[in-house]
Amino acid sequence: MSTTTPEAPAVQRRKHISVPTPQVPRKRRSPEEIAAATTVEGPKRILLAAPRGYCAGVDRAVVAVEKALERYGPPVYVRKEIVHNRHVVDTLTEKGVIFVEEADEVPEGELLIFSAHGVSPAVKQTAQERGLQTIDATCPLVTKVHREAVRFTTKDDYHILLIGHDGHEEVEGTYGHAPQSTTIVNGPWEVDQIEVPDPDRLIWLSQTTLSVDETMETVQKLRERFPNLQDPPSDDICYATSNRQAAIKKVAPESDLVIVVGSANSSNSVRLKEVAEEYGAKRAERVDFANQVDESWFTEAATIGVTSGASVPEVLVQEVLRLLADYGYGEPEEIVTAEEDIVFSLPKEIRKALQEAGHEDVGRGGRKRQD
């Protein structure tokens, strides 16, 4: 008698569904109550850091998703968050974007967009095997680091010390371009534990959204241990990260409170809060939305500095400024430390699709977005 082994039931993967975060109104203490409890004297000032908010790479990625929705209609799939901002992700979700963790969650043949943080070759290979149509919205400045990783390991035979946060999407993507020849260094505290194959064939690269000061501290400690450590041909920390940190360094010393608008998983937003504290702000807080600002902070703050991370739409900053005005703070005084005029073309895949559809305006990144 023949027997057959019953097939195991198919395992159903959990579908990743993005649900917009509801904004719950806060019951606030009145401006009069806060004024009565205030312990500081003098005019109530706002120092508004500039540059702040959207950078060219973020704008390019968000516009790419919006244009894909216009061209193909929903659903459009995006691997990870297109940028690290709750408002942006929630808004795109409402328009029909489905955010997934990995490419193998996307139905075969569908459209998948890679986020601004970049991906490894292995992720692209998975997408190709599934027959997915893809749009690569990786920030061009991140792509530059990917190319450096390939060049220095395959042509120049260097081992890379990649300064960045292990587990961050950008670091995973860069590491994936040369996994056998890359060591991740989270910060200066890890330098003494690093083991390398040849101390005379080393070069450092970095995540683009790090603290400039901490990165340089890490490089200094690495060079003390490995004197022949080579520098990358140009700075890997992006212009927007550097500029926003420079601006808050100017604002922080005069501020009793600094409010950073940005999400918790946004590396550059978190770094802005840290930089504000390091450079003299008496207090620094990070919020996603104005309704997360605690008015009790104002009782000890005559001067409030305001900035936002590189993935934050300006509308969120303006909501914070309106709240501050309600509590008696004056017109913002903008502290400008740099002017930004960088723009990036949209990803070639979406430009081609739009041109084939007869669109004359294929769009560019780098604008100050209000939505």
Share of the chain above pLDDT 90, in %: 86
Q: Is the peptide bond before 51 cis (omega within 30 degrees of 0)?
A: yes
347 pLDDT higher than 70: yes
Range from 206-210, 350-354, 356-360 carrying the lowest mean pLDDT? 356-360
Amino acid at position 319, single letter: E
State both tokens at 241: 């990260």
Q: What is the mean pLDDT of residues 268-291?
A: 98
Task: Provide the H-helix boundaries in 99-195.
Answer: 121-129, 140-150, 169-175
State both tokens at 305: 């500095």
Parallel, antiparallel or unpaired: strands 76-79 and 303-308: unpaired
Tokens 């790479």 sit on residue = 57
Task: Provide the H-helix boundaries in 252-371.
Answer: 267-278, 314-326, 348-356
Which fold, 158-225? Cobalt-precorrin-4 Transmethylase; domain 1 (3.40.1010)
Q: Are 270 and 264 in contact (CB under 8 A)?
A: yes
Q: What is the mean pLDDT of the chain?
A: 91
How many residues does the structure list for the chain?
371
Question: Three-class SS of residue 163?
Answer: strand
9 pLDDT higher than 80: no
- For 217, how many CA atoms within 13 A lie in the half-sphere containing its CB? 10
Q: How confident is the model at residue 264 (pLDDT cuts 50, 70, 90)?
A: very high
Q: What is the mean pLDDT of residues 20-48?
A: 84
Tokens 């043949």 sit on residue = 109
336 pLDDT higher than 50: yes
Share of the chain above pLDDT 70, in %: 90
How many Cβ atoms from other residues are within 10 Å of residue 129's Cβ? 11
Task: Please name the residues in contact with 138: beta carbons below 8 A apart, sequence gap of 6 or more.
Answer: 114, 115, 116, 117, 118, 119, 146, 173
- Kind plus residue range of the DSSP H or E element containing 97: strand 97-100
16 pLDDT higher than 80: no
The candidate with the shortest Cα–Cα distance to 310, out of 239, 240, 213, 243, is: 240
Domain 13-55+239-336 architecture: 3-Layer(aba) Sandwich (3.40)
CATH class as words, domain 56-140+343-356: alpha beta
pLDDT, residue 26, reads 65
Q: What is the mean pLDDT of residues 76-105?
A: 98
Q: How confident is the model at residue 355 (pLDDT cuts 50, 70, 90)?
A: confident
367 pLDDT higher than 70: no
Q: Is the peptide bond before 75 cis (omega within 30 degrees of 0)?
A: yes
CATH 3.40.50.11270 in the chain, residues?
56-140+343-356
Residue-wise pLDDT for 150-167, tens only, equals 999 999 999 999 999 999
pTM score: 0.89
Nearest-angstrom CA–CA distance, 13 and 150? 34
CATH 3.40.1010.20 in the chain, residues?
13-55+239-336, 158-225
Range from 15-29, 117-131, 213-227, 304-318 carrying the lowest mean pLDDT? 15-29
Q: Are 78 and 99 in contact (CB under 8 A)?
A: yes
Please state the φ and ψ torsions of residue 86, each to the nearest 5 degrees: -65, -45
Q: How confident is the model at residue 24 (pLDDT cuts 50, 70, 90)?
A: low
Q: Are 225 and 192 in contact (CB under 8 A)?
A: yes
| Backbone angle region of 360, left / alpha / beta, with phi > 0 → left and psi within -120 to 50 → alpha | alpha
3 pLDDT higher than 60: no
11 pLDDT higher than 50: no
Amino acid at position 196, single letter: V
371 pLDDT higher than 90: no
Nearest-angstrom CA–CA distance, 332 and 47? 6
4 pLDDT higher than 50: no
The CA–CA distances, whole Å, from 183 to 186, 196, 206, 369 equal 10, 8, 11, 37
pLDDT, residue 14, reads 36
Q: What is the mean pLDDT of residues 201-223?
A: 97
The candidate with the shortest Cα–Cα distance to 124, out of 102, 145, 139, is: 102
Active site residue 170: yes
Nearest-angstrom CA–CA distance, 162 and 205? 5
Q: What is the mean pLDDT of residues 247-264?
A: 98
- For 164, how many CA atoms within 13 A lie in the half-sphere containing its CB? 29
Q: What is the mean pLDDT of residues 56-64?
A: 97
Nearest-angstrom CA–CA distance, 29 and 345? 47
Among candidate residues 170, 254, 295, 331, the one labeled active-site is 170
Q: How confident is the model at residue 22 (pLDDT cuts 50, 70, 90)?
A: low
Residue-wise pLDDT for 296-310, tens only, equals 999 999 999 999 999
How many Cβ atoms from other residues are within 10 Å of residue 319's Cβ? 15
